Copies of this chain bind each other. A is one copy, B any other.
Amino acid sequence: MLDVLLLDVNETLTDLEPLRDDFEAAGLPRHTLDAWFAAMLRDGLALTTAGAYADFPALARELLEAQLVAAGIEPTEERVTGVLSGFTRVPLHPDVAPGLRKVHAAGVRIVTLTNGRAAMSEGVFTAGGIMPLLEHRLDVSVPRRWKPHPDAYRYAAEVCGVPVERMGLAAVHPWDIDGARRAGLQGFYVDRRNTPYPQAFLPPDLIVPDFEALAVELAR
């Protein structure tokens, strides 16, 4: 029985592909998005592992500046802001709004939890029509531990006033599902690209191709 569906945000709800245009406009190759995004998680998780904390936007900016310098491009404020502001304009995947409407109609509470900043996605959620469905929009700046540290998921359960086992995390990232499961939550793998799920991680409770399919599974 599920009381609260906890949602990861970047890549799970939002489609980051348009950011490749912003990298290109700043003079960087389009594939820079992949290394940049993985490096942000690497650095945020490294600090969490060491018992420390940094803001996602601060890491995003520093890594982007380093990548511009490495490519021989001056890291002007215009170039840096051009890429970073892209996060506030990315679209939701097309299955998100119809899927979440069904989950909400079934009486399941819906809450987001991101390693980024909750405020960065407000415009995206409003434009995508899901803002009224979200009971809370949480980020890791309160527990000061990035997901998949158990404190991040426990914080969300505490805010919602539910035991962790009545909460399920939906994400496209296996490491996030693994962490949620280790913290006691259920884990739902949203696998839009049909990507093999790594055996290094605890398996998900459900594997679905998108949020419309997840809504059907949760209504069973």
Contacts and interface: CB of A to CB of B under 8 A. Distances in A.
A48 B178 CA distance: 11
A199 B193 CA distance: 36
Contacts of A48: 45, 49
B52 A182 contact: yes
Contacts of A52: 178, 182
A105 interface: no
Contact of A182 (B29, B50, B174, B182): B50
A42 interface: yes
Contacts of A66: 195-196, 198
Contact of A175 (B47, B65, B175): B47
Contact of A70 (B69, B174, B178, B195): B195
Interface of A: 29, 31, 34-35, 38-39, 41-43, 45-52, 54, 58-59, 62-63, 65-66, 69-70, 145-146, 148-150, 174-176, 178-179, 182-183, 193, 195-196, 198-201
Given A50-B175, A62-B196, 11 more contacts: A35-B35, A38-B42, A42-B45, A46-B148, A49-B148, A52-B182, A54-B200, A63-B198, A65-B196, A70-B193, A70-B195
